[in-house]
Amino acid sequence: MNILFFCWEYPPNGSGIGRYVEEMSDALSTAGHSVTVLTSRADSLPRESLEGSVRVLREFDRTELRSMRVAELALGVARDCKADWIEAADHWGEGSSLLKCRRRPPVVVKMHYNDVLEATRYSQAWFSWQRAMIDLACLRQWRAISGERYSIRHADILLAPCRRILDEAEKQGVHLAANRAVVPNTIQPLRWKNAESQKPKVLLVGRLDIGKGLPYIRAMLEDLVPFFPELTIEIAGGDSYARGLGSVKKWFDKQLGEMREYVKLLGFLDQRQMDEAYQRAWVVIAPSRWDTFPQTVLEAMVRSKAIVSSPYGGMPEMLEGTESVIADPESRDFPEAVRRFLGDSLARAKAGKSVCDRVCREYNPQKVASAYIDKVCSFL
């Protein structure tokens, strides 16, 4: 098959969606398919390159999202590479202009994160009054949200990495494309020898963001520090902006109070630094208020780390049948699960092995690429 990924988020630009495109395009090309990625320009990188066997074209700017120029550009690339279909993301509705074109290949839209769904939108609201501010911001961004709504309704094929996001959309009464299926995201296996720092460390990977569960960290520390006075929670990710709060980093600093000394903000990390952070960690936490199918959890799984995750999003599906723990970060169950892992190296090792076994069994590139091709072709 000839497949075109059309997404502005591709490393080094963007975040988790870009990582998905990178991993999925590599999995499909390794399986013998011809894959092209049309993405946004990046400083110091050529406009065309070959990454493995994936052809990457960096031809537009983020400011051009949803424009007809970029849609026509994508159609031209699709003709050039004889694409059997084009995959776009729901986020920002960047495939919406493409879907409105008459003569085009089928368009597959993968659901990752969109503001049409209240579960994702309001995960950013810690205070009740922030919801009104988020709604106002959504009114100002109506073009992007309209594009997201159009994409998930009119996609020729709608894919989701987990059942939960489809359930949330259906529960809310959102109109979804008729042809839809669940195909999980993938990650390459690693040659990884697990290790830990001498002193207890907990790792949270993700931008400084309300939705990633930062408001729960102080209460978590208050429960954990009496048992582990040398504990550090490391957080890897850049700052973000929250409605009515401004810089989340500044707000988080104030909110931590006397617990601030137990938190280390690592900022944005390159791959080597990220590997070092995973190596140090005794436990990886994902206390998100919503996360569809976080790449960071896949990264922790493939690195054999014990994981404590929230139930909000696709994490319960990702970790099903493993020794890791799903717990509500608003309850004492979450820090209690972290405390049990910190105090029991054998339990950590057992949990780490179980998640690594699952990710290698269920989310390996060969299995996911095959499921992806089968699902898409079944609708064509």
306 half-sphere exposure, CB direction, 13 A CA radius: 25
Closest C-alpha to 319, from 365, 374, 361: 361
Q: Show pLDDT as tens, one digit a residue, over the chain (380 residues).
A: 999 999 999 999 887 899 999 999 999 999 999 999 999 999 889 999 999 999 999 999 989 999 999 999 999 999 999 999 999 999 999 999 999 998 999 999 999 999 999 999 999 999 999 999 999 999 999 999 999 999 999 999 999 999 999 999 999 999 999 999 999 999 999 989 888 999 999 999 999 999 999 999 999 999 999 999 999 999 999 999 999 999 999 999 999 999 999 999 999 999 999 999 999 999 999 999 999 999 999 999 999 999 999 999 999 999 999 999 999 999 999 999 999 999 999 999 999 999 999 999 999 999 999 999 999 999 99
Determine the pLDDT at residue 238. Answer: 92
Using alpha carbons only, give the angle 323, 324, 330 rounded to the nearest 5 degrees. Answer: 140
Tokens 């995201």 -> residue: 185
* Three-class DSSP category at 187: coil
As given in the structure block, the two tokens for residue 123 are 């995960």
185 half-sphere exposure, CB direction, 13 A CA radius: 27
Q: Where are the alpha helices (DSSP H) in 244-305?
A: 248-256, 271-280, 295-302
Task: Please report which helix (H) or strand (E) contains residue 265, including its range.
Answer: strand 263-267
d(CA 272, CA 267): 14
Cis amide bond preceding 287, omega within 30: no
Determine the pLDDT at residue 188. Answer: 93
Indicate whether this model's pTM tops 0.95. Answer: no
